[in-house]
Structure 1
Amino acid sequence: MNLKSWLYLFWTSLVVGAAGSLVIGLILQWTDTVTLNGTADFFVNIAVLLGVGIMVSVYSQMGFFAYMMVNYMGTGVFSRRTWQYIQIVLTSLALLELMFFRVFVGGEQAGKSDMLLGIIILIVALVVASFKVKMTNASAWIPTVFFMIAVTIVETVGVLKIGVNEATAWIAGPLIACNAYQILILHRVLKPRTA
């Protein structure tokens, strides 16, 4: 990946994160019936929503490049099939951690919301993986599911500890959107351009 490709990925991911945060933030505020005191409050609110989306996007990009390094090392250390099995096990453990272990083992309170978030992440991961396979080849299925589930769950751990469903939705929504965008666009960014 050259600098121009990385900059394209960086800026477009910022836009995806900002748009995702804006949409989810406005929906959450609309359902919560937030009252804004004047035009200045409205514009400050929009700026805050966009700013949070940009920060979430940068966080997502750090996770994405960390995943690419882990994947590179995993394929270098293990055979292809072994690395796929490891990814499947880690993906299953991440889902179990989010949906069950936090409630039953850790004593966390947000059982239903964690279960719902896990189901949403799983569904989005399967949809994104099916698109990725159509765009590239069948070998992209397991790495895409691993990234969309395991890495996304690891990235949301911080907001899950807050225990506020609205905060989780506000951060997890743009995060999932950025992760999906980055994994779906990666093959286009890495594709060498012919002269």
Structure 2
Amino acid sequence: MTSRNLVKLFWNTLLVGGVTTAIVGLFARWHVLQPYFVNFNIGEIISALIWLIVMGFLFSVISQMGFFAYLTIHRFGLGIFKSAALWNGIQLVLILFGLFDLVYLRYVNFAKPGESILLYFVPALLLLVVGLVVAWLKSKQTNREAFIPALFFMIVATLVEWVPVLRINSQNWLYSMLFALLACNAYQVLILHKLNKKSEQERQQRKSQSGNKAKNNKKMNKKPSI
């Protein structure tokens, strides 16, 4: 990927994280923000929105770090196991472990006496559904082999990135961070091959322009026949 498209990916992902967190945060923290809107307190409303957007930028940076970390791990996995099928199988097992731990560990650590475990399936089902949709779109846009890696990243990488909020079980930020991470991760997965293709086209164009420039210079420097 060219540096120009890499910078474009960074800023666009940052924007996705900021906007998503601002929108979801308004709903998730409505019980706190409602008085500001009822009293039409513009200063407090703007301050709250700026705070949510800044947090969204932070979530976006975490997402991007996880994305590039996974790209590296994916290449290592293919190199170590020497088989895409075997590596995909391992990723499937890790996906199942990740979803199980999300439900079981949160229930064991945070459930109140008599509380149903069914409520703790909601985040896992949300992750699974979004992951399947994004993986299907990715495989449709590229090839079938991209399905499992995309699904793994959308579920396992999102879980790892989500750990800081999961550990403290902050209800105010639980879904705000989750939706921001899902939006940023989905955007990066679905745009990567397009930016790579665009970067390759730009490189070819530069080579063509450099070749034409070299030919023109050669003609200009050619000695006259007489």
Taking the aligned partners of 2:166 and 2:57, their CA distance within structure 1 comes to 19
Once the two structures are overlaid, the 10-residue window that deviates more, 56-65 or 94-103, is 94-103
Give the C-alpha shift of residue 35 in structure 1: 1.4
Give the C-alpha shift of residue 43 in structure 1: 1.0
Q: Which amino acid aligns with 2:29?
A: Q
| 2:208 aligned partner | none
Q: Structure 1 residues 88, 29: closer, same or farther in 2, change over 3 A?
A: same
Query: What's the TM-score, normalizing by structure 2?
Result: 0.80
Stretches of structure 1 lacking an aligned partner (at least 5 in a row): none
Give the C-alpha shift of residue 113 in structure 1: 4.7
Give the C-alpha shift of residue 97 in structure 1: 0.7
Count residues with an aligned counterpart: 193
Give the C-alpha shift of residue 154 in structure 1: 1.1
Larger Rg: 2
SS at match of 1:125: helix
- Higher normalized contact order (CA 8 Å, seq sep 6+, divided by chain length): 1
| 1:162 aligned partner | 168
Taking the aligned partners of 2:46 and 2:14, their CA distance within structure 1 comes to 19
Identical residues among aligned pairs (%): 37
Query: What's the TM-score, normalizing by structure 1?
Result: 0.92
1:1-195 to 2 correspondences below 5 Å: 1-30=1-30, 34-36=34-36, 38-78=41-81, 79-104=83-108, 107-109=109-111, 111-191=117-197, 192-193=200-201, 194-195=204-205
CA RMSD of aligned residues (A): 1.7
SS at match of 2:35: coil
Taking the aligned partners of 1:148 and 1:120, their CA distance within structure 2 comes to 11
Q: Structure 1 residues 98, 138: closer, same or farther in 2, change over 3 A?
A: same
Taking the aligned partners of 1:158 and 1:164, their CA distance within structure 2 comes to 10
| 2:224 aligned partner | none
Contact 2:91–2:149 (CA under 8 A) maintained in structure 1: yes
Q: Structure 1 residues 34, 162: closer, same or farther in 2, change over 3 A?
A: farther
Taking the aligned partners of 2:118 and 2:31, their CA distance within structure 1 comes to 20
Stretches of structure 2 lacking an aligned partner (at least 5 in a row): 206-226
Contact 2:29–2:172 (CA under 8 A) maintained in structure 1: no
Give the C-alpha shift of residue 101 in structure 1: 3.7
